[in-house]
Amino acid sequence: MTEITFTKMHGCGNDFVVLDCMEAQPAGLADIARNLCHRRFGVGADQLLTIKPSDTADFRMEIYNADGGEVEMCGNGIRCFAKYVYEHGLTRKQEIEVDTLAGIIRPRLKGDRVEVDMGRPVLEGRDIPVDADGRIVDRPLMVDGTEYTATCVSMGNPHCVLYVDDVDPLDLPRLGPRFEHHDFFPNRVNTEFVQVLAPDEVRMRVWERGAGETWACGTGASAVGVAGVLTGRTGKKITVHLIGGDLEIRWADDDRVYMTGPAQEVFQGSIRV
């Protein structure tokens, strides 16, 4: 067995096990993610984040879901990543470049919060990817015998945004997997269920592929900011209320999406795997 030192962090309740791999990387990160993220037999987390050197940016971030699958990006995760590398002395920069599978992402510390340039949304269907051409805006989608209207966006990872009257009564453990594994989404999908409160305010619950329902999703909130503009339901700057807290989303005139929210260290420890 190998002893691993870790840090537990969260952003709006979306929680992570963070591994500093700047000097050495343990083998079998997919298996380690499954073990450490298990809420009964491990540390417990939605995802595992690794901090690695990069030839093209200040750092590289790799992200593994609780099921061991590697994914492209995580908005709450990258805020925690930025907070960790600054507070643990790995950098003195308050704005860094992070190499991810979704490209270079730029988080910036703003007091006790972190603003992240999430990049430009991808709206072409095949590039999200979904099994259709063109923009997917309020498109009818049959799921488990019910017709929904879906708006799809990639923020480095695929999202399906659905608008509902009330997010509270939704049975996400039943609904979420139906969308995640639907044939329309060749790489599976993250699904956001959104209740509009005002043109600048929404409530959201999210089912993340490979993780289940999480208390927050930064890329998902960013996708909701874009979807609201595309469908005419909200403006270009909104507050997204999630189970774990609030995120501020702004789709700027330069076509880039900016997300601002908290990131917090919970504890440090070591575990044998």
Q: Which residues are catalytic, by number?
A: 74, 217
Dist. CA 59–CA 176, nearest whole Å: 33
Q: Which parts of the chain fold into alpha helices (H)?
A: 29-37, 75-87, 172-180, 218-231
Partnered with residue 103 across adjacent β-strands are 100
Count Cβ atoms below 10 Å from residue 44 Cβ, excluding itself. Answer: 14
Dist. CA 119–CA 100, nearest whole Å: 12
Closest CA to 260 of 237, 230, 231, 227: 237
Count Cβ atoms below 10 Å from residue 256 Cβ, excluding itself. Answer: 14
Question: Reduced to 3 states, what is the DSSP secondary structure of residue 45?
Answer: coil
Q: Where are the beta strands (DSSP E) in 126-182?
A: 139-143, 146-154, 158-163
C-alpha of 59 from chain center? 18
Q: Where are the beta strands (DSSP E) in the chain?
A: 3-11, 14-20, 47-52, 59-65, 70-71, 98-100, 103-110, 113-117, 139-143, 146-154, 158-163, 190-198, 201-208, 212-214, 237-242, 245-251, 257-262, 264-272
